[in-house]
Amino acid sequence: MSLTEEIKTHAGRLGFDLAGVTTAAPPRYGAYYAEWVERGMAGEMDYLGRQIEKRQDPGQILPNARSLVVVAMNYRCPDTDPAPDGTHSGKIAQYARGDDYHDVMKEKLQALLLFIRDRAGRPVEGRVYVDTGPVLEREFAVRAGLGWFGKHTNLIHKRVGSWLLIGEILLDIELDQDRPAADHCGTCTRCIEACPTDAIVEPYVVDSRRCVSYHTIELKGPIPTAYRAAMGDRVFGCDDCQDVCPWNRRAPVSGHSAFLPRPWNEMPGLIEMLGLTPEEFRTRFRGSPIKRTKRRGLLRNAAVALGNTKDLEAVPALADSLGDDEPLVRGHAAWALGNVGGDRALAELKRARKTEEDPWVIEEIEQALAECAAS
């Protein structure tokens, strides 16, 4: 068995669902990526604009780079039962319902690198990355035969679908290459049509500034008013483009216990979420991807989702949030009350307006008061 085959076999033993190998030649779409960032489509994700040179040439990350071992893990969760009538639950993207994939995959990749060093018969330099390094990993995954780049910009594999998390090891040794995967999206445009905010502005191009995942996770400030209603009940990420993908119809549920939903992450109650204290947030989301949005971001999202229910039963919880320590939470709670409307919401907004000092929150309250008065 060749070293390349040994590596891929051991990757399977470690729990990776897919593994392939490609060269460390510069990515074909490096210049396009730089242009995408230049066009502002990364939004406030400034980190995507850093180290552009390294993203365009793996040799600038690891001198004498020769190969990449690219791996993927399936994170698809079991289907959930609908929430009981009258219960307002938030929707969390499937990848974030279990443990943080960065931690899970990095540990396995480090073990794979140790295996490679043991089997190579000479000193080996390697770099391990899971989503956070200056590597255009989806292109390398395609080159390594793990799937193709879907029109929704996610990697798609014929058997596993697009529920895939990607990692890679950059190496200074030559390995046998796998054949690149062919595109099998054909004329299908279901992902483009399903996007609630038209963020897939053309096939294979996502404008992050329009994306619900960006708004609920990466955006640190207020969610633009124009996109709040389109968020629906989503409080962390969005899977709509993947939910409709024909290649996901028969995609298997993940066999990795780490990615199975934590009890509260499957269908979290919005009112309970809105009442989380800082300590409860830290405890509940320790080791979870959801910690990335921080408490203020998650409660911001929960307030918008509750406002989208237009249910008068949500008013007391939203009214309590008008007194939150975080202006970001107070402002979105005000918007939500304006969206729900009714006498109680109007009274709570008037009460908050008398004491609020933050200029942006005052603006949100006044807009909400106008909404209530017009309804």
Active site residues: 131
Distance separating alpha carbons of residues 164 and 20, to the nearest angstrom: 14
CA distances 351 to 271, 310, 320, 365, Å, are 21, 20, 12, 10
CA end-to-end span of the chain, whole Å?
72
Distance separating alpha carbons of residues 114 and 19, to the nearest angstrom: 16
Taking each helix axis from N to C end, the angle separating 343-355 and 359-374, rounded to the nearest 10 degrees, works out to 160
Look up residue 314 and give its two tokens.
């949500």
Q: 299, 276 in Cβ contact below 8 A?
A: yes
Q: What is the DSSP letter of 84?
A: P
Q: Strand, helix or coil at 20?
A: strand
Distance separating alpha carbons of residues 170 and 63, to the nearest angstrom: 10
Closest to 302 (Cα-Cα) out of 282, 275, 284: 275
- Number of Cβ within 10 Å of residue 331's Cβ equals 28
Distance separating alpha carbons of residues 215 and 316, to the nearest angstrom: 25
One-letter amino acid for residue 76 of the chain: R
Distance separating alpha carbons of residues 116 and 100, to the nearest angstrom: 25
Q: No. of H helices and E strands in the chain? A: 16, 10
Long-range contacts of 180-187 (CB under 8 A, 24+ apart): 180/22, 180/142, 180/143, 180/144, 180/145, 181/142, 181/145, 181/146, 181/147, 181/148, 181/157, 182/148, 183/148, 183/149, 184/148, 184/156, 184/158, 184/247, 185/148, 185/150, 185/151, 185/156
